[in-house]
Amino acid sequence: MKIKYLLLILLAFTVCNLSAQTKRKKAAVSAAAVNSGPPRPKLVVGIVVDQMRWDYLYRYYDRYQSNGFKRLLNEGFTCENTQIDYIPTVTAAGHTCIYTGSVPSIHGIAGNDFIIQATGKSMYCTGDTTVKTVGSTSTAGEMSPRNLLTTTVTDELKLATNFRSKVIGIALKDRGGILPAGHAANAAYWFDDKSGNWITSTYYMSDLPQWVKDFNSRNLPEKYLKLDWNPLYPINTYVQSSPDNSSKYEGKFRGADSPTLPVKTSVLYKGNLGMIRSTPYGNTLTLDFAESAINAEQMSQHAVTDFLAVSLSSTDYVGHQFGVNAVETEDTYLRLDRDLANFFAYLDAKVGKGNYTVFLTADHGAAHNPAFLTDHNIPAGDWSERAALTGMNKMLEANYKVKNLVIGLGNYQVNLNYAVINKEKLNADAIKYDCIKYLQQQPAIAYAIDMQQVQTASIPEELKARIINGYNAERSGAIQIILKPGWFAGFAPTGTTHGTWNPYDSHIPLVFMGWGVKHGSLTRETHMTDIAPTVAALLHIQAPNGNIGKPIGEMLK
């Protein structure tokens, strides 16, 4: 009897063991099915440094530490001759091009703001009144990617993984977070000056996740501003910059006596938390938030690749205010170098070195301040857009007896008032001809080109291609204005701006590092449109549906 019971127990144990093995095998098969795709990194992090000129990689190289920009260059693959394919070179178009591999004529983001030609109404690139702010009582959240006409590489990743990948966009600027994240993103977040919070819109969700609420409750913007902006090093060691009393070229903070360091932000901000945008702390805050997103959303911890699109906006605000040659700009990049080193160290610990891919690029560059150039005997100037608009409308009124036939000259384009032209039954071609004649007489202007006659214009082929790529018939003006080198339409006599075809605006950094990336460099010409298809090739996914770029094969392992 004892033997009988022992045999029954042994049989029951064998059956249970076989059943457990069968379950484990089924689970293994199921897991294999989930992970059966091509090899991919656990996480892709796209970093756009707003207004970063290519030469900033090397201008301050001696003062960068080993684990920030130098790590990208020494471990990664740098494309030394990456050019923007279109004009105007502005933030929204740049971020969109990076992630779509496309140009304004196709993806539709023809500027930060642009005129709908059929109606004459201005549209903000991410403006969307059908959605509401989430996380603040302000209207800063009435934004979405709906004005974007194509997919992004982040959209294509979602499609390739049946929407299992997590995609999140983060930037102080709404357009810097929204456009890279694409249409199908899990979330995009941006900074709200009124509340000092990171916010989003109902396009993505109805309420902020608890982790975002917890992050906002830490009041980091105020804490950073209370630290003041002090230089990292003695002022006399900033030899790559003009003396820190160049008030002629630099703009000061409201309430400050001069545009010099240190800046007593603790005194000057007076509850205006938006001041953090124009300090290096804005970049620090953005990367703090990026780390919190990776932690809370468990990015890189899934069976499929996740994608974090980060844009660092403060470099643009600092550049506009202080210009290319300021101590404040140099200090901002030295501080950003430290922030990047800390961020890469965080990724190493969290995701694992070699398990993630990073690329760093810029949406556009920046020009030297015209007064700075002319003081050094270099041709330059500041073109008055307002004066040109007033003069052109007066000329047209004299010719056609109708007021305000030109709406504006934004994006270096003549936007005609087609509603009035059609109502008065005027000849639009004759008006364009008169405008071009007027513009060609202005000393700042090299060319004024009818958008519909670009192919036959007597201008360099390189300019023809960039004009055609930037021209969206529904959202771009009728005439493209090309200023002489060194000239721009300035907002003030101090600081700088961007928007032209010239190398200072169109030559951008592009460095890849991490999983799937060779170490090396490339000097042949590459393009902003090549970034998205290169990332797509790395991930073995389809390129965005408006892509015209080509993968940079030399970079791929």
**DSSP secondary structure string for all residues of 234-298:** -GGG-TTS--TT-TTT-PPPTT-SSS-SSB-HHHH-TT-GGGGGGSTHHHHHHHHHHHHHHHHTT
Q: Residue 289's pLDDT is what?
A: 99
Q: Residue 13's pLDDT is what?
A: 44
Q: Residue 11's pLDDT is what?
A: 44
- Nearest C-alpha neighbor of 99 from the set 200, 183, 202, 201: 183
Question: How many other β-carbons are positioned within 10 Å of the β-carbon of residue 453?
Answer: 12
- Here the tokens at position 370 are 């015209």
Q: Are 272 and 355 in contact (CB under 8 A)?
A: no
> Is 446 strand, coil or helix?
strand
Q: Is 240 exposed, middle or buried (0-12, 13-18, 19+ CB in 10 A)?
A: middle
- Here the tokens at position 183 are 């249409």
> Is 478 strand, coil or helix?
coil
91 has catalytic annotation: yes
Q: Are 50 and 366 in contact (CB under 8 A)?
A: no
Q: Are 102 and 548 in contact (CB under 8 A)?
A: yes
Q: Residue 1's pLDDT is what?
A: 41
Q: Residue 36's pLDDT is what?
A: 55
Could you say which of 78, 89, 91, 151 is catalytic?
91
Q: Are 81 and 394 in contact (CB under 8 A)?
A: no
Q: Residue 37's pLDDT is what?
A: 76
Q: Residue 385's pLDDT is what?
A: 96
Q: Residue 292's pLDDT is what?
A: 98
275: Cα separation from own chain's centroid: 20
Report d(CA 215, CA 136) in Å as an integer.
14
| Domain range 384-443+445-483, CATH class | alpha beta
Domain borders along the chain are 43-374+500-555, 384-443+445-483
What are the residues whose beta carbons fall under 8 Å from the beta carbon of 204, sequence distance 6 or more?
134, 185, 186, 187, 188
Q: Are 175 and 48 in contact (CB under 8 A)?
A: no
Q: Which residues lie across from 143 on neighbouring strands?
A: 127
Is the overall model pTM greater than 0.85, yes or no? Answer: yes
Low-confidence ranges of the chain (pLDDT < 70): 1-36, 491
Look up the CATH superfamily of 43-374+500-555: Alkaline Phosphatase, subunit A (3.40.720.10)
Q: Residue 327's pLDDT is what?
A: 97
Angle, CA of 97, 100 and 103, to the nearest 5°:
45
For residue 446, which phi and psi values (nearest 5 degrees)?
-85, -45
pLDDT digit string (tens) for 386-413?
999 999 999 999 999 999 999 999 999 9
- Here the tokens at position 194 are 């009124």
Q: Residue 245's pLDDT is what?
A: 83
| Cα torsion angle, 425, 428, 433, 439, sign | positive
For residue 420, which phi and psi values (nearest 5 degrees)?
-70, -40
- Nearest C-alpha neighbor of 329 from the set 51, 23, 21, 24: 51
